[in-house]
Amino acid sequence: MKIRPIKQKEIKFASKIVGKNYSKEYEKIASKEIGEMFRNVITRPNYIVAEEKGEVLGFGGYIQSWMDYNVYHIFWVNVRPDKQRKGIGTAIVKKLIEIINNKKAFMILLTTSKPKFYAKKFKFKTLVKFKNNKYNLMGLILRKSDNVID
Ligand SMILES: CC(C)(COP(=O)(O)OP(=O)(O)OC[C@H]1O[C@@H](n2cnc3c(N)ncnc32)[C@H](O)[C@@H]1OP(=O)(O)O)[C@@H](O)C(=O)NCCC(=O)NCCS
């Protein structure tokens, strides 16, 4: 299995996974949002896929926060239903954290209905719960200072 940036022609396969995990409506939203990676915008999202033999098994995205340049967001982490619980989601999130950490970011924020997945494997902490505790806004502090001497 390879983890690499998504290709434009794979947007439909990635969004289909969202369609299967959630709904047709979310599939359309995901498709539009992934498409933003290929547009010339100031703050551009990036998406990576877990691929095997040319097939997209899962994906996930990240973006730098608007103005708060040291903060990044992770979103749309989705693994094909028939491929879940095989470590693919873990591999995707691990890679996303590694990419963001290499940018010397301070913090990662994400919203999820699967807080245990992020807490157990990656030590994200719940900051706020909403929609009757269905969703958790979680944070992971990567570093507390950039220690730059100026
Ligand atoms: C959540 C998700 C991304 C995890 O990916 P995955 O490939 O299935 O996860 P992994 O195989 O890497 O599992 C890692 C751990 O997460 C936990 N986990 C995985 N799926 C879980 C679930 N549905 N509920 C609770 N815990 C779960 C397990 O404890 C697992 O640990 P284990 O290996 O000791 O069993 C995937 O199940 C998915 O796409 N779900 C639907 C979409 C979704 O909810 N996305 C997250 C929203 S941010």
Q: Is residue 139 within 8 Å of residue 120, measured between CB atoms? A: no
| Nearest residue by C-alpha to atom 15 in ligand 1 | 117
- Closest alpha carbon to 104 in 62, 48, 43, 145: 145
For residue 89, report the distance from its CA to the centre of ligand 1, in Å: 6
Pocket test for ligand 1, best of 84, 110, 112, 138 (most atoms within 8 A of CB): 84
Pocket test for ligand 1, best of 15, 75, 110, 117 (most atoms within 8 A of CB): 117
For the beta carbon of residue 123, count every other beta carbon within 10 angstroms: 10
Residue range 29-75, pLDDT digits in tens:
999 999 999 999 989 999 999 999 999 999 999 999 998 999 999 99
> Average pLDDT, stretch 81-100?
98
Ligand 1 atom closest to residue 113's alpha carbon, by position in its atom list: 47
Residue 20 identity (one-letter amino acid): K
Give the pTM. 0.93
| Nearest residue by C-alpha to atom 4 in ligand 1 | 89
For residue 121, report the distance from its CA to the centre of ligand 1, in Å: 10
For residue 61, report the distance from its CA to the centre of ligand 1, in Å: 16
**What's the confidence (pLDDT) of residue 147?**
74
pLDDT > 70? residue 18: yes
Ligand 1 atom closest to residue 78's alpha carbon, by position in its atom list: 39
Residue ranges covered by each domain of the chain: 2-141
Radius of gyration for the alpha carbons in the chain, expressed in angstroms and rounded: 15
Q: What are the Cα distances from residue 100, in Å, to 23, 27, 107, 108?
A: 29, 25, 9, 8
Return the CATH number of 2-141, one of 3.40.630.30, 3.40.50.1000, 3.40.1190.20, 2.102.10.10.
3.40.630.30
